[in-house]
């Protein structure tokens, strides 16, 4: 199979990830819940994972690295810690439902900076204009999951700093591919999955905290057990119940892989592949590619004249090629870019994707178009 759905989850992982998970399942218990070696081993793994993540993402204190089930879970904690009913929240026009649905459920006023696709100057100008004194928080994705568009997050963060508005960054598509630094952004929270660019298993995510956080779930933490309130300190405050230690073990190995290969190298590799893919696809008559060489990460969307995007996906699947079609759980992004009615076909790469695979994918798209 040619796997081009890494923006959903990276299917190909370093071999060390599965080995670590297997080891954890057979040798590790619950961290902090006992004084025996299997509990110690789990505790050590969790701590090493927090330390590795803290180093990679600009956090001084590993206690501020929270394990979550996924980026959605992390975003829910961040949003519900910062935002309450009746607040006004400014978001980019490229947010995922993981941001917009919690906001809608809370009953907040959502202002959308719906800047033109691949136009960072326009986005900055809109944030500048819309970041008015009544805005209580800003939530912005670093990279659009639909278009791979790299948003001007440094400048947006600067505006938030200048106007003292807390910022939540959704790093779902950038962690492990681009520089993600909570200190540089002075962000209140940064949320990310463990199973995409960090090469951990599904069921893992991270929340980086620089602001006071509220739990969305209460339960046992192995600390302050006499009290009926969640502990005031991190990470315990946000981590009720038994940890996903096999997941954390896998994520630790994923983080080590990213560190070993290098974020810059992974990002460059993916950008090169996307550039190649865009160039080749744009030569196919009837194929419309959404591409901007200066600010695009490892995902690329396209449409085919006269073909429903899901049909394109089905035909590619029949040729053993995996892509993602439709709205990608981000109707706001499609509305902003003008593709809400058609959806798009999205191809996304990882450190394990190759130029040869891109060539075979392009040939397959040619077949789909010519057999229309």
Partner 1 sequence: MLYYLIVCRSLTYAQRTAAALERAGITARTLRSPKSISGEGCSHCVRVSPRALDEALEILHRAGLEPKRIFSAQSDGTYEEVGLI
Sites of contact with partner 1 (CB under 8 A): 31-32, 34-35, 40, 43-44, 46-47, 50-51, 61-63, 222-227, 231, 233-236
Rank residues 218 and 224 by Cβ distance to partner 1 and give the closer one.
224
Closer residue to partner 1 (CB): 40 or 122? 40
Least gap, CB of 191 to partner 1 (angstroms): 19
CB of 77 to partner 1, least distance (A): 17
Least Å from the CB of residue 254 to partner 1: 20
Q: Which is nearer to partner 1, 46 or 312 (CB)?
A: 46
* Complex with partner 1: residue 49 or 157, whichever CB lies closer: 49
- Per-residue HEC secondary structure of the chain comes to CEECECCCCCCCCCHHHHHHHHHHHHHCCCCCCCCCHHHHHHHHHHHHHHHHHHHHCCCCCHHHEEEECCHHHHHHHHHHHHCCCCCEEEEECCCCHHHHHHHHHHCCEEEEECCCCCCHHHHHHHHHHHCCCCCCEEEEECECCCCCEECCHHHHHHHHHHCCCCEEEECCCCECCECCCHHHHCCCEEEEECCCCCCCCCCCEEEEECCCCCCCCCCCCCCCCCCCCCCCCCCHHHCCCCCCHHHHHHHHHHHHHHHHHCHHHHHHHHHHHHHHHHHHHHCCCCEEEECCCCCECCEEEEEECCECHHHHHHHHHHCCEECEEECCCCHHHHHHHCCCCCCEEEEECCCCCCHHHHHHHHHHHHHHHHCC
Smallest separation, CB 49 to partner 1 (Å) = 11
CB of 239 to partner 1, least distance (A): 9
Minimum distance from residue 62 beta carbon to partner 1 (Å): 7
CB 33 to partner 1: min, Å: 8
Nearer to partner 1, 134 or 223 (CB): 223
Q: Compare residues 44 and 259 and give the one whose CB is closer to partner 1.
A: 44
**Polymer length of the chain:** 372
**Which of residues 203 and 222 has its CB atom nearest to partner 1 in the complex?**
222
For the bound state, the minimum distance from the C-beta of residue 46 to partner 1, rounded and expressed in Å, comes to 8
In the complex with partner 1, the residue whose CB is nearer, 35 or 133, is 35
């Amino acid at each position: 199979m040619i796997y081009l759905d890494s923006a959903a989850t990276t299917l190909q992982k370093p071999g060390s990830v599965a080995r670590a998970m297997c080891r954890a399942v057979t040798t590790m218990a619950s961290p902090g819940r006992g004084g025996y070696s299997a509990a110690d081993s789990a505790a050590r793994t969790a701590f090493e994972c927090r330390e590795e993540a803290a180093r990679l993402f600009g956090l001084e204190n590993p206690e501020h690295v929270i394990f979550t089930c996924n980026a959605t879970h992390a975003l829910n904690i961040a949003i519900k810690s910062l935002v309450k009913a009746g607040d006004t929240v400014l978001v980019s026009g490229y947010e995922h439902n993981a941001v917009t649905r919690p906001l809608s459920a809370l009953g907040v006023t959502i202002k959308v900076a719906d800047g033109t696709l691949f136009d960072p100057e326009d986005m900055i100008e809109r944030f500048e204009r819309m970041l008015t004194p009544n805005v209580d928080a800003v939530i912005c994705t670093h990279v659009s999951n639909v278009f791979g568009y790299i948003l001007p997050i440094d400048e947006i963060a600067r505006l938030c700093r200048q106007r003292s508005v807390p910022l939540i960054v959704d790093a779902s598509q950038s962690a492990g591919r681009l520089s993600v630094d909570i200190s540089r952004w002075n962000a209140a929270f940064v949320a990310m999955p463990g199973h995409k660019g960090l090469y951990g298993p599904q069921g893992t995510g991270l929340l980086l905290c620089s602001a006071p956080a509220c739990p969305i779930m209460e339960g046992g933490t192995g600390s302050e057990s006499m009290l009926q309130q969640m502990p005031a300190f991190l990470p315990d405050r946000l981590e009720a119940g038994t940890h996903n230690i096999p997941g954390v073990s896998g994520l630790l190995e994923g983080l080590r892989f990213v560190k070993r290969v290098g974020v810059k190298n992974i990002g460059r590799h993916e950008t090169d592949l996307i550039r190649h893919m865009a160039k080749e696809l744009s030569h196919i008559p009837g194929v419309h590619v959404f591409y901007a060489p200066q600010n695009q990460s490892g995902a690329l969307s396209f449409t085919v004249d006269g073909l429903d995007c899901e049909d394109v996906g089905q035909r590619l699947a029949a040729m053993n090629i995996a892509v993602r079609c439709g709205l990608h759980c981000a109707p706001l992004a499609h509305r902003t870019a003008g593709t809400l009615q058609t959806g798009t076909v999205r191809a996304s790469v990882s450190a394990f994707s190759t130029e040869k695979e891109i060539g075979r994918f392009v040939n397959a798209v040619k077949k789909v178009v010519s057999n229309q």
